[in-house]
């Protein structure tokens, strides 16, 4: 019996020793994860620092701002002329803003033509009115437009269009504007005089009627006194 107990204890001791030896061998063969992860973290940190900075071998593409306008080299110089209202003949150059389509340019140039002519009529007549001299697009094109231009510009890196016209006001047109303004002044004066005359006649008629009423009453009173 004792021999059997000694044999069992020896077997258990041998199994424990074998387990201890196997565990130690596994620990020696396993890679050191604490050392392998450290370089990876350092590499990621260095990569983040590199991305945060500006690499010397990478350049970002630059694009001009949307408000930047580039004009062609063959653009006519008369487009930059200021309105000439001193020397004859008077000229007025109007230029549209860069537009994406030609239709937008045509609509804008039509409005700008009428506005420029209306402003010129006001300046010429020295008044705040322009409706006394009728104008329309056909009359402006036939009588005033001397030069036109249509071209392309680059705005914000994209292609746009622009239009321009030069309005010329000859002496004949200036005389017509002044004559029309004088006629308006004469008409206004006659209208004012007519109003004054009408008011005066009305007052005279009313005064005459009142005098007639008073005179009749006085005559009637005198007649009654004589009869009494």
Beta carbons within 8 Å of 107's beta carbon, 6+ residues apart: none
Question: Who has greater pLDDT, 50 or 222?
Answer: 222
**Are 143 and 133 a contacting pair, CB within 8 Å?**
no
What pLDDT score was predicted for residue 198?
60
What pLDDT score was predicted for residue 220?
72
What pLDDT score was predicted for residue 190?
60
What pLDDT score was predicted for residue 177?
93
Consecutive H or E run containing 153: strand 145-155
Q: Where are the alpha helices (DSSP H) in 79-170?
A: 102-125, 137-143
Would you say residue 140 has pLDDT above 70? yes
Question: Who has greater pLDDT, 43 or 97?
Answer: 97
In percent, how much of the chain has pLDDT > 90? 43
What pLDDT score was predicted for residue 150?
96
**Residues 46-84 pLDDT 10s:** 545 545 555 545 454 466 677 789 999 999 999 999 999
Mean pLDDT of the chain: 77
Question: Who has greater pLDDT, 192 or 7?
Answer: 192
**Are 106 and 126 a contacting pair, CB within 8 Å?**
no
What's the rounded Cα separation, in Å, for the pair 162 and 101?
9
Would you say residue 183 has pLDDT above 50? yes
What pLDDT score was predicted for residue 154?
95
Q: Name 92's bridge partners.
A: 167
What pLDDT score was predicted for residue 33?
47
Would you say residue 175 has pLDDT above 90? yes
What's the rounded Cα separation, in Å, for the pair 88 and 171?
8
What's the rounded Cα separation, in Å, for the pair 174 and 82?
19
**Residues 14-49 pLDDT 10s:** 555 455 545 445 555 555 444 444 444 444 555 455
What pLDDT score was predicted for residue 61?
47
Tokens found for residue 161: 């269009």
Average pLDDT over residues 152-180: 94
Range name among 2-6, 18-22, 84-88 with the lowest pLDDT average: 2-6
Supply the DSSP symbol for 128: S
Tokens found for residue 52: 């945060």
What pLDDT score was predicted for residue 27?
52
Average pLDDT over residues 151-160: 93
Q: From 146, 202, 203, 212, select the one nearest 173 (Cα to Cα).
A: 146
Instruction: Find the farthest-apart pair of alpha carbons in the chain and give their distance in angstroms, rounded.
Output: 187
What pLDDT score was predicted for residue 156?
87
What single string gives the DSSP state of each residue in 29-90? HS--HHHHHHHHHHHHHHHHHHHHS--TT--PPP---TT-EE--TT--GGGGPPPB-SSSSE
Helices then strands (H, E): number in the chain? 5, 4
Q: Report the SS3 class of residue 100.
A: coil
In percent, how much of the chain has pLDDT > 70? 64
């Amino acid at each position: 019996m004792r021999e059997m107990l000694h044999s069992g204890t020896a077997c258990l001791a041998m199994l424990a020793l074998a387990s201890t030896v196997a565990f130690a061998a596994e620990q020696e063969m396993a890679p050191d994860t604490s050392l392998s992860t450290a370089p990876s973290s350092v590499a990621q940190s260095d990569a983040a620092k590199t991305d945060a900075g500006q690499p010397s071998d990478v350049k970002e593409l630059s694009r001009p701002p949307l408000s930047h306008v580039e004009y062609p080299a063959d653009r006519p110089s008369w487009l930059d002329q200021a309105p000439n209202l001193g020397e004859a003949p008077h000229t007025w150059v109007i230029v549209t803003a860069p537009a994406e389509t030609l239709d937008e340019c045509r609509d804008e140039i039509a409005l700008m033509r009428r506005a420029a002519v209306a402003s010129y009529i006001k300046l010429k007549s020295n008044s705040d009115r322009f409706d006394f001299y009728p104008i329309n697009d056909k009359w402006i094109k036939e009588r005033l437009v001397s030069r036109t231009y249509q071209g392309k510009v680059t705005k914000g890196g994209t292609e746009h269009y622009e239009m321009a016209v030069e309005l010329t006001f000859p002496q004949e047109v200036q005389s017509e504007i002044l004559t029309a303004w004088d006629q308006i002044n004469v008409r206004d004066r006659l209208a004012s005089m007519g109003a004054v005359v009408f008011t005066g006649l009305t007052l005279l008629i009313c005064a005459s009627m009142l005098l007639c009423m008073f005179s009749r009453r006085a005559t009637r009173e005198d007649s009654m006194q004589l009869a009494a």
